[in-house]
Structure 1
Amino acid sequence: MIFMGKTSLGLDENIEGALCYLFGVITGILFYILEKESKFVKFHAVQSIILFGGLWVLSIILAFIPYGWMLSGLVNLAAFILWIVCMYKAYKGEKFKLPVIGDIAEQYSQ
């Protein structure tokens, strides 16, 4: 396990980074607002907000498209896989950047 140091909330950075993904947008917003020092945590918080917020919007759009429910299953599977991967990478102390989303998250986490 990588020890990265404590955050302003008193948790290890890697644990707080992983927790940013736990409840998607909710924990992303929570840690983005509460964390005052760690750019690592803020990065994962913003990435979580954009990723799961975007997937939520996509799910709503698919609900209004004929046969969109078929694609919705694939979106949910992708969301689950991304959720696990992002939490794991953050816990390992990696600044795992998703394509496009990671670059945006990096800008807003500074």
Structure 2
Amino acid sequence: MSSLPEEQNDQPNQPAPPAQTAPPAQAAPAAKGSDDNLMAALSYIFLLSVVMLLVKKDSDYVQFHAKQGTVLFIGEVILGVVGSFTWFLFYLWDLVWLLFVIVSIIGFYQAYRGERYRLPVVADLADKIKI
């Protein structure tokens, strides 16, 4: 006689359930404050976007934000020049400049967080820049 109860003797040996596997690891966003995040964020400050385009050619992330910053910079220059020749745009320049500052702050913040945020209209124009 066996020492196990009868109901356990009647059951065939069952394989152990498979071990649970962890979900596949996803690429983590760049750490806050990393060099690429800082350089990408600085790309939204006027002429620094052009500098970042030329200096950080090896970083796709910095290039993405530098192109958007360059489009903003070129837009500011064009509107500034046109506004200086026409009195109508000269008075609207403060509002347009404020809009550019707000969009630049959004881009700066998103770049520093490690996000690849596409600014409306600006990103479409930036995609056409080939370096």
Q: TM-score range by the shorter chain?
A: 0.7 to 0.9
User: Aligned residue for 1:19?
Assistant: 42
Given the superposition, is the C-alpha separation of residues 109 and 94 from structure 1 closer, same or farther in structure 2, using an over 3 Å criterion?
Answer: farther
RMSD over aligned CA atoms reads 2.1
In the superposition, relative to structure 1, how do residues 103 and 68 fare at CA in structure 2: closer, same or farther (>3 Å)? closer
Whole-angstrom distance in 1 between the partners of 2:77 and 2:50: 15
Q: Deviations over 1:36-92 (max 9, x none)?
A: 321110011111111111121112112211332221111111121112111111101
Partner of 1:8: none
* Match 2:66 to one of 27, 31, 45: 45
Equivalent residue pairs, number: 102
Q: Retained in 2: the 8 A contact 1:13–1:40?
A: yes
Q: Match of 1:102? A: 123
TM-score, normalisation: structure 2: 0.67
Uncovered stretches (5+) of structure 2, i.e. residues with no partner: 1-27
Unaligned runs of 5+ in 1: 6-10
Q: Which has the larger radius of gyration?
A: 2
Give the stretch that moved more between structures: 13-22 or 100-109.
Answer: 100-109
Alpha-carbon offset, residue 109 of structure 1: 6.2
Aligned-partner residue type, residue 114 of structure 2: G
Moved over 3 A (4+): 106-110
State the distance in 2 between where 1:73 and 1:66 align. 13
